[in-house]
Structure 1
Amino acid sequence: MTQLTISPHSPNSFRIRRSLTWHWGGNQGTIYPVLDHSEKNRHPLNCPSFFKIFKYQQTQMIMFDPPIASRMQYYSLEPISLELSEKSSFTIISQEYEKSLLDEQKEKEQIIEKVKLHASYDPAELSYRGLILRNTISQINCCHELGVEMRRKALEVYPRIRIQTRLRRRLSVSEFAIESAKHVHNRVIDFASNCWDRVVPLLMVGFLGMLMCLRVIAEGILRVIEYRAKPSFYTLKDVSATALQIDLRLQQFCYWPIQYLKIYRRSRDWSSNTNFNMEYIRFYNNIWLVLNDVIIGITLSNLMLERKERIVEYLCYAIDTIFTIEFERTILWLMDWPGGLKLNTELASFFGELILWVIQFWGNFLNLFRPYFGVMVTVVAYSGFAGATLLISVVSDLASFFPAHVYAFYLASGRIYNWQLTVLRSLFHLFRGKKRNILRNRVDSCNYELDQLLIGTILFMSLIFLLPTVVVFYLTFAFFRFAVIIVNAVLESCLACLNHFPLFAILLRIKDFKRVPGGIVYKVLPSPTDSSTSLILLQPLPLQFGKMFYQFTLLTTRLRLHYLSFSVVLRLLSGQFVPIQRSKLYTLLYSKLPARRVNIHDLYKELFPSSSTKQESYDFVSSSGPGGVGNGNRSVLAAMINSSSNSSSSSNSNVSNQPIEPLATATSTSLASGVHNGYSNMANTAAATTSRTRHFQR
C-alpha cells in the first residue's frame, strides 16, 4: 500500500475537511475516516495518526516537494534531451563505431529485460505499473497547480468576511494633493495603455511583414548555399566554413518563429510541462548564444581595427617567409640528400624544380593582393559585428586559401605515390606467377612468358630505387597538409563551442536543478520502530554534465576516428586522399534544428492565421502567458474541480458498491498530495475567517 504526500507536512498532521475519501495506491478498497462534525472540531477536523490506522498493514508513504510550474520545475523519469528527438540518433562517420554504440544500447536493453524476468510481478503487470508511474509523475508535476486552483475555488465557496472599517476623516490639503496627483497619474497611464493597445497591432503587422520578407531573402540565400550542380559535386557549405556558418544562422532564423509558436501555443495537456520546458531551454539557449556571439564578435572586431597595421605586417610576413621562402628552403633541402638519405638526384631535381616554379607563381599571385590586405583585414573585422563565429569562419577559409599550393602538392605527390605502390604490387604478383582477378576480387595463378618476366623485373627494380624519393616528398607535403588541417580543426571546434555550448542549461542547473531534471531517486527516511509504515522521500536528480556535453563527446570521437584511426593511417601510408567531410563531421551544429525547415507558405499560415484560428491562438497565448508556465491548465483544473464537486454527492453514495480500477486508484494516489494541500488550505482559511468573525462579534 503506497501513499503520496507533500514533504513539508508531517505524516501525522493530515487535516481533512468534511467527508473526504482517501484512495490508496495498490489497494482495491477505500478507507473512510471517521469524522466528528461537531462545532468544536469543525475547523479543522484531525484525522488519527496514519501510523495507528495502518498498524497492521504494510504501508509506504512517498513524500515529495511539489514542483512549482511557474518556476518551470518538474520531475522526469529519464534525463531530458537538449537535442531534438529526430536528432538523438547516432550520426557517426565510422559505421563500426555506430555499430558498437547500437550494440551497447541493445545489450543494456537485454539486461533490463532479464532483470524484469526475475521480478515478482508479471511482465505485463510490470509494464502496466511503469505506465502508472509515468502518469503519476505527470500528475505530480501538476499538483501545485491543482492546489492553487483548489484554494481559488475555496475562496469562492467560502468568501472572506468583509471587515467594516471606521469612517475616514476628512483629507488634509497635502493628502488631497497626493490623491489628485495619483488620479492624474492613473488617467495618464490609462491613456497611454489605450494608445499602446491601438498602436501594437499595427506595429505587429509591420513586424510580421518584415519577418516574412527576411524569410524570403533567407530562403534564396539558402538555395544558393545548398545548390548542387551534379549529385557528385560538393555544395558551397561543404567546402567553405563561412558558407556553413551562414547556413546555420539562416536555418536558426527560419526555425525561431516556429519554435516561439511551439512554446506559446502548447497543448493544455498535463504532460506538456516537460516538452514545453525542453523547447524553452533550446530556444533561449540559442538566443543567449547568439547574443554572446555578437558581443564577443564586436570585441574581436574592435581589437582587429585597433591593431590593423600589425595584422597586415604579420600577414605579409606569413606570405613572404612561411609560404614562400621557408618552403623553398625545405624543397632545396630535399633536393640535396636530406638527413644523409641518398635519393635519386634526377627525380629529386625534377620534382624540386617543378615545385619551386609553382611556389614562385603562387607567391607572385598573392603579391597582387598585397595593396588590398588592409581592406581585407577591415572586411574580416567588420564581419565580427555579425558574430565571432562568422569572423572565425572567414579566418578559417583564409587559412585554407593561402596554403592552397601545399594542398595541390599533397594531391599530386599522393597520387604518384599511390600509382607507384599499385604497380609494385602488380609486379610482385608477377614474380610469384600470380595476377589479381578484379572480377572475383582474388589472386589467381597465371603463366607468364620470359620476356614478360624480364620486363617486369626491370620495372620493379627501377620503381624500388625511385620509391624513397617519392616517399620523402609525399611525407613532407602530407605533414604540411596535416598542419593546415589541425589549424582548421581548432578553429571549427571553436565554432562548435560558440554555436552549441549549453550555456543556458548550465545556468539553470546552477540556479535551480529542478528545472533540468536528470531522473528521480528514492531515499528511505527513518520511521517508528513499532510501525509497519515506511517513509520514502522522492527527489529529482540534476541533469549530468555528461548529458549536456554529449554532442561534444560525439564530436571528439568523430575527430579521432576521422584523423587518428587505424584506417586513416593506412590511407596515408598508401597515398589515398583523406577528405574533410564537413557535412558529416560537424552535424553537431545542426543537432537542435529540424531535418527539414518549414517552407514559406506554412510559416505564413502560422503567422497570419484565419479569424477563427486567430481567436483560438489568442486564447492559448492569453491562458499561458509569457511567464506563467502551466497556467494553460487552469481552465482544465477548474472544470475538473467543478465536475468533481457537482458529482461528489452521487459518487460518494455509490463508491462503496463499485470496484475501483487500478488506474483510477493510481490516479487518485498521485492526486492525494494535491487534494491534501488544497483541503488543508481550505480548512486553514475557514479557521482564520471564523476567528475574525468571533473577534468582531465581541
Structure 2
Amino acid sequence: MSSMRFLSLEPLPLDIASKKSEYPETHNLSKNYLALSDLDFTNPRLTAPRATSHILDEINASPLNRTIKNAPLSKGPSLLTQTSFSASIGTTIKFILGLCNLQIPYVGEATRMKDLSATLQQFDVRGEQALLLPKQSLVLQRREQEDLAFAAAQYISFYNCIWLVINDIIIGAAFGKFLRDNCEPLAELLSYYAQRYVVEDVRNTLIWLDSWPVGLKLNTQLSRFFCVSFMGIGDIWGNFLHAVAPSLPWAIFGIGCMGLLGMTMIFSLLSDTLSIFTGSLYFCYLVSTKIFSAQLVVLGSLFNLFRGKRRNVLRNRTDSWDYDIDQLMLGTILFTLVTFLFPTVLVYYLLFALCRLGIIMIHACLETALAFMNHFPLFATILRFKDPARLPGGVYLVLSPGPPPRLVPKNSPVPFSQIFFQHLRVWSKLSQHYSPLRLLRCVVAGILIMPIPRYSIRYDMVGIEERTKKDE
C-alpha cells in the first residue's frame, strides 16, 4: 500500500483538476480494516456493486494485517515537504507572475503582458508550478491516508511535473551549449535568411505584381501606390535588420544561456524572435487586411443598395427599401468603382495573407512543441509499462495454478487515451484553431489570422490551485 498499488472497479482519473467525488472511493484502509473484516458479505441486502466495492476494500487492506498496529502508512513525498521556499524566493516568483499578468492599457480589456510574448507565458507557467508544487506536496501528505485514489492522482501529477522540469532543463542545457558554441555562424545564417525572405523576396514579388503578372491588368495607380508603400516598409525593416545584425551573436549566446532554464524557454525565445524578425510582414498583412475587409463591407452595402435592399441592424436582417433615383445613381457609380479596384486590393492582400499563413504554421509547430514538453505524461507512461498496478483501470480475475487453484484479482491498467488526456485536449484545440477550412474562411472573409491563444493550450494551474485549497 505504501507504493500506492490498489484495486479499483473504475479507472483512476489522472486529471487532478477533477472533483474529489469523481475519483473511485478508496477509504482509510488502515483504520477500516477490522470493520471490513467483520462485514457479512452473505447478507442479501448488500447489493452486488456495494459488496464488490467492500470486497476490494478488504483485499486492498489485507497486506496491512501484520503491520496495521505498528506502522502507519507512508506520508507521501518527502522531498518538498522537508524543504520549503524562503520568503524572498516566493516573493520574487509572485512579483514575476504579477508582471506577466499585468494588463496593457489601450490594447484590450483582457490583454496581458504574457499574451504578447511566448517567453513571458513560459515564465508564467514555471512560476505557477513553483508555487503549486509545495502546496500540492502538503495536500498529498495529508490526503494519502484518507483517499488513496485521490492521493495517487496527486502523487503522479506531482512527480510528473518534477520529471518534466528536470528533463526540460537537461535538454535545454545541452542545446543551449550548442547555441553558445556556434553563435557566430548561426547569427550569419539568421541575418542572411532574414534579409532574403523577409526583405528581398517580398520586394521582388511586389515589383512582379506591379508589372501586370500573367496578363492580369491591375489598376495602375492603385497598384503603384501599394507597391511603393509596402516596399518602403520593407526597406525600413531591412535597415533595422542590418543594424541589429552585429548584435545577433550576443542574442543567440543569450538564448543559449537561457537554455539552463529549459528547452521550453529556448522554444519560447525562438517564437518571439520569429515575431520580431517578421514584424514588417505582419504590419503589411494588418494594413492589407483592413483595406480588404473594408472593401468587402462597402461592396456588400452597395450591392444591397443596387438591388433595393437595406441592412436592418436592429433586427439583424436585410429588408426591402425604396431609394431615390439620386441615391441609386450614386450607389451604382460607387459600386462599379469599388468593383474595378477590388482585384488590385485582392492580389496584394493574398500576397501577405500567404506570408502570414507560412509564419503561423511555424508558430503552430513551436506551440505544439511547447505544449508537448510542458504537459507530456512522462511519469504516468513509465508507470504504465513498469508498474501498471499503480494505474488501476478495472479488475479482472486470473486463475492461479497450484493446489488448490484459486482466482486472483488483477488490475487492468488505465488506457493510454486517459493517460494522454491533456494532449488529446491540446490537439483538439490546435486542430480546430489551425484547421485548413477555418484558415480559408479567415482569408476569404478578411479576418486577421492570429496564433492560438497560449492560455488555451496550457494546463490550468490557477484552477488546480483553487481546487487544491478547497481540498486542504
TM band (smaller chain)? 0.7 to 0.9
- Partner amino acid, structure 1, of 2:140: I
Query: Do residues 337 (structure 1) and 208 (structure 2) align?
Result: no
Q: Distance in 2 between matches of 1:592 and 1:82?
A: 17
Q: Distance in 1 between matches of 2:262 and 2:406?
A: 54
Q: Which moved more, 1:294-303 or 1:363-372?
A: 363-372
Q: Percent identity?
A: 34
Alignment of structure 1 residues 148-167 onto 2, 5 Å: 148-149=67-68
Q: 1:594 maps to what in 2?
A: 464
- Partner amino acid, structure 1, of 2:444: L
Q: 1:218 maps to what in 2?
A: 93
Q: 2:135 maps to what in 1?
A: 258
Alignment of structure 1 residues 544-583 onto 2, 5 Å: 544-564=415-435, 566-583=437-454
Instruction: Find the partner of 2:160 among 281, 285, 288.
Output: 285
Query: Do residues 449 (structure 1) and 324 (structure 2) align?
Result: yes
State the Cα distance separating 1:471 from its structure 2 match: 1.1
Q: Distance in 1 between matches of 2:356 and 2:131?
A: 37
Q: Distance in 2 between matches of 1:485 and 1:404?
A: 13
State the Cα distance separating 1:383 from its structure 2 match: 0.3
Equivalent residues of 1:520, 1:540 under 8 A apart: yes
Evaluate the alpha carbon distance shift between residue 520 and residue 341 of structure 1 in structure 2; reply closer, same or farther with a 3 A threshold. farther
Query: Do residues 76 (structure 1) and 8 (structure 2) align?
Result: yes
> Which TM-score applies when normalising by structure 2?
0.85
Q: Distance in 2 between matches of 1:288 and 1:369?
A: 38
For 1:594, what is the secondary structure of its paired residue? helix
Query: Do residues 274 (structure 1) and 149 (structure 2) align?
Result: yes
Query: Do residues 85 (structure 1) and 4 (structure 2) align?
Result: no
State the Cα distance separating 1:340 from its structure 2 match: 2.9
Q: Distance in 2 between matches of 1:359 and 1:516?
A: 57
Query: Do residues 433 (structure 1) and 303 (structure 2) align?
Result: no
- Partner amino acid, structure 1, of 2:355: F
Q: Distance in 1 between matches of 2:438 and 2:181?
A: 46
Evaluate the alpha carbon distance shift between residue 317 and residue 147 of structure 1 in structure 2; reply closer, same or farther with a 3 A threshold. same
Q: Distance in 2 between matches of 1:399 and 1:571?
A: 22
Evaluate the alpha carbon distance shift between residue 515 and residue 148 of structure 1 in structure 2; reply closer, same or farther with a 3 A threshold. same
Q: 1:488 maps to what in 2?
A: 363
Q: 1:514 maps to what in 2?
A: 389
Q: Deviations over 1:358-377 (max 9, x none)?
A: 00011112222122111111
Q: Distance in 1 between matches of 2:46 and 2:442?
A: 50
State the Cα distance separating 1:424 from its structure 2 match: 1.0
For 1:369, what is the secondary structure of its paired residue? helix
Q: CA RMSD in A?
A: 2.9
Q: Distance in 1 between matches of 2:370 and 2:192?
A: 27
Equivalent residues of 2:282, 2:356 under 8 A apart: yes
For 1:394, what is the secondary structure of its paired residue? helix
Evaluate the alpha carbon distance shift between residue 421 and residue 148 of structure 1 in structure 2; reply closer, same or farther with a 3 A threshold. same
User: Quick check: which has more Rg, 1 or 2?
Assistant: 1
State the Cα distance separating 1:525 from its structure 2 match: 8.9
State the Cα distance separating 1:135 from its structure 2 match: 3.8
Evaluate the alpha carbon distance shift between residue 525 and residue 563 of structure 1 in structure 2; reply closer, same or farther with a 3 A threshold. same
For 2:393, what is the secondary structure of its paired residue? strand
State the Cα distance separating 1:569 from its structure 2 match: 2.9
Equivalent residues of 1:309, 1:374 under 8 A apart: yes
Gaps in structure 1 of 5+ consecutive residues: 1-68, 89-124, 154-203, 527-533, 607-698
For 1:518, what is the secondary structure of its paired residue? strand
State the Cα distance separating 1:496 from its structure 2 match: 1.1
Equivalent residues of 1:225, 1:237 under 8 A apart: yes
Q: 1:243 maps to what in 2?
A: 120
Q: Distance in 1 between matches of 2:239 and 2:338?
A: 35
Q: 1:295 maps to what in 2?
A: 170
Equivalent residues of 2:132, 2:465 under 8 A apart: no
Q: Distance in 2 between matches of 1:127 and 1:364?
A: 82
For 1:448, what is the secondary structure of its paired residue? coil
Gaps in structure 2 of 5+ consecutive residues: 21-43, 72-80
State the Cα distance separating 1:127 from its structure 2 match: 10
Instruction: Find the partner of 1:325 among 188, 197, 200.
Output: 200
- Partner amino acid, structure 2, of 1:244: Q
For 1:439, what is the secondary structure of its paired residue? coil
Equivalent residues of 2:119, 2:269 under 8 A apart: yes
Q: Deviations over 1:107-148 (max 9, x none)?
A: xxxxxxxxxxxxxxxxxx999543443343333222211254
Q: Distance in 2 between matches of 1:525 and 1:301?
A: 54
Q: 1:93 maps to what in 2?
A: none
Q: 1:176 maps to what in 2?
A: none
> Which TM-score applies when normalising by structure 1?
0.58
Q: 2:228 maps to what in 1?
A: 353
Q: Deviations over 1:57-98 (max 9, x none)?
A: xxxxxxxxxxxx13321112222222223499xxxxxxxxxx
Evaluate the alpha carbon distance shift between residue 565 and residue 329 of structure 1 in structure 2; reply closer, same or farther with a 3 A threshold. closer
Q: 1:138 maps to what in 2?
A: 57
For 1:71, what is the secondary structure of its paired residue? coil
Equivalent residues of 1:252, 1:593 under 8 A apart: no
Q: 1:543 maps to what in 2?
A: 414
Q: Distance in 2 between matches of 1:87 and 1:502?
A: 20
Equivalent residues of 1:406, 1:477 under 8 A apart: yes
State the Cα distance separating 1:238 from its structure 2 match: 1.1
Q: Distance in 2 between matches of 1:350 and 1:428?
A: 27
State the Cα distance separating 1:267 from its structure 2 match: 5.3
Alignment of structure 1 residues 26-425 onto 2, 5 Å: 69-86=1-18, 129-149=48-68, 208=84, 211-229=86-104, 232-266=109-143, 268-269=145-146, 272-425=147-300
Q: Distance in 2 between matches of 1:541 and 1:597?
A: 29
